[in-house]
Amino acid sequence: MKAVLRRLAPMAVAITIGVAGPANAGVALPPVNLGDSTFQDGIAGPGWLFQHTLSAYHADTFRDADGRRGDAPPEVASVALLVQASYLSEHRVLGAYWGAEAIVPFVHARVKPATGPALHATGAGDVFISPLILQWPETTLAGRPFWQRINLNLTLPTGQHGRPARLDLGSNAWQFNPHYAFTWEASPAWEISGRLHYLRVGTHRGPGAGTGASSARAGDAVHLNAAISRSVTGHLRLGGAMYALAQVGDDRIDGVRQPGRERVLGVGPSLAWKRGRASFHATAYVETLAKDRSEGHRLSLRYAVGF
């Protein structure tokens, strides 16, 4: 049982960034961004951007591979602070401003099984970096302003793992998670934004004592964020946001395919306040349609300032 719970640790970190991994599977999808980008996501320009995102998650429901509620699921709770620095140069590549970014997550996670003591961990998770961002300046789509961006994101296996009787804060595997982001201003008041990601995960060479395996690898996945908002005042926008994840490749343990693929949908209200180059975003999500993973509630608070 401890080996199973310890494999929830990447999930617990992931929850705070947007992913809730399976509660009784051998392999969990690693942390990705689900729901931490919302309104006007595709809009950016040359200069520095610093962001702090505070995420909180709680779940006491698990859905199996058929979407049925599992018996005696563990309770999962986590809080994370993501510290992000991004830079866009004034120079252009393929007509786009090029840049880079780094994100460091600091996490507190707790997993309480139906019976037995809880497992917990506090510390830094895996570091996210992007060696190349391409941000195209404003253009038009159907006669209305349109912005778009490509980000080639990598995750480094820097988080702690393999500690006895402790949750893992790292996935111990490299990850490639590029995304395409856009914003379309449908009218002077309304805008639609989205991100589409593809996740490719490397092989975990040390699944841990008690697993009986020498390697594990999570299957590929597609995930997206989307939002729609209306300007209420010169500084305030209100609307709704959603995220979705669908695993498209099989997990493998020692090279053997494993049954079950993760899926989840999160939806909820969102707001954004902006003044000058500073902005604050808040979104509350309720998860549904989960398969092979936990299902819960999540709150995302983000403050960003540009220079």
Banded pLDDT at 117 (limits 50, 70, 90): confident
**Average of per-residue pLDDT across 143-160:** 95
Look at residues 84, 77, 121 and name the one whose alpha carbon lies nearest to residue 104.
84
More confident residue, 7 or 107: 107
**Average of per-residue pLDDT across 228-238:** 97
- Predicted local confidence at residue 165, as pLDDT: 63
Q: What value does the mean pLDDT of the chain take?
A: 88
Q: What are phi and psi of 175, to 5 degrees?
A: -140, 145
Q: How many CA atoms lie within 13 A of 186 on its CB side?
A: 10
CA dihedral sign of residues 276, 280, 283, 284? negative
- Predicted local confidence at residue 1, as pLDDT: 37
How many CB atoms are closer than 10 A to CB 82? Answer: 23
**Average of per-residue pLDDT across 197-215:** 79
8 pLDDT more than 80: no
User: Quick one: what percent of the chain has pLDDT higher than 70?
Assistant: 88
More confident residue, 232 or 28: 232
Look at residues 52, 67, 63 and name the one whose alpha carbon lies nearest to residue 21.
63
Rounded to an integer, what distance in angstroms lies between the CA atom of residue 21 and that of residue 199? 14
Which tokens in the block code for residue 107?
A: 């996490």
- Predicted local confidence at residue 4, as pLDDT: 38
Tell me the sheet residues that pair with 179. Answer: 151, 197
Residues in CB range of 120: below 8 A, 6 or more apart = 108, 109, 110, 111, 166, 167
Banded pLDDT at 16 (limits 50, 70, 90): very low
How many CB atoms are closer than 10 A to CB 240? Answer: 14
207: three-class secondary structure by DSSP: coil
CA dihedral sign of residues 12, 18, 23, 28? negative
User: Residue 153 belongs to a domain with what CATH number?
Assistant: 2.40.128.130
**Alpha carbon 148 to its chain's center:** 20
12 pLDDT more than 60: no
More confident residue, 3 or 300: 300
Banded pLDDT at 209 (limits 50, 70, 90): low
**Average of per-residue pLDDT across 249-261:** 91
166 pLDDT more than 60: yes
**What is the DSSP code string of 211-252?**
S--S-EEPPPEEEEEEEEEEE-SSSEEEEEEEEEEEE-S--E
**Average of per-residue pLDDT across 63-75:** 88
**Average of per-residue pLDDT across 145-158:** 96
**Average of per-residue pLDDT across 100-125:** 91
Banded pLDDT at 20 (limits 50, 70, 90): very low
End-to-end CA distance of the chain: 49
40 pLDDT more than 80: yes
Tell me the sheet residues that pair with 201. Answer: 175
Q: Which of 17-21, 115-119, 176-180 has the highest mean pLDDT?
A: 176-180
Q: Residue 276: give the domain boundaries.
A: 2-306
Banded pLDDT at 210 (limits 50, 70, 90): low
Which tokens in the block code for residue 168?
A: 């893992």
Amino acid at 222: V
| Number of domains into which the chain is organized | 1
**Average of per-residue pLDDT across 161-189:** 88
Rounded to an integer, what distance in angstroms lies between the CA atom of residue 267 and that of residue 5? 27
27 pLDDT more than 90: no
CA dihedral sign of residues 11, 14, 15, 16? positive
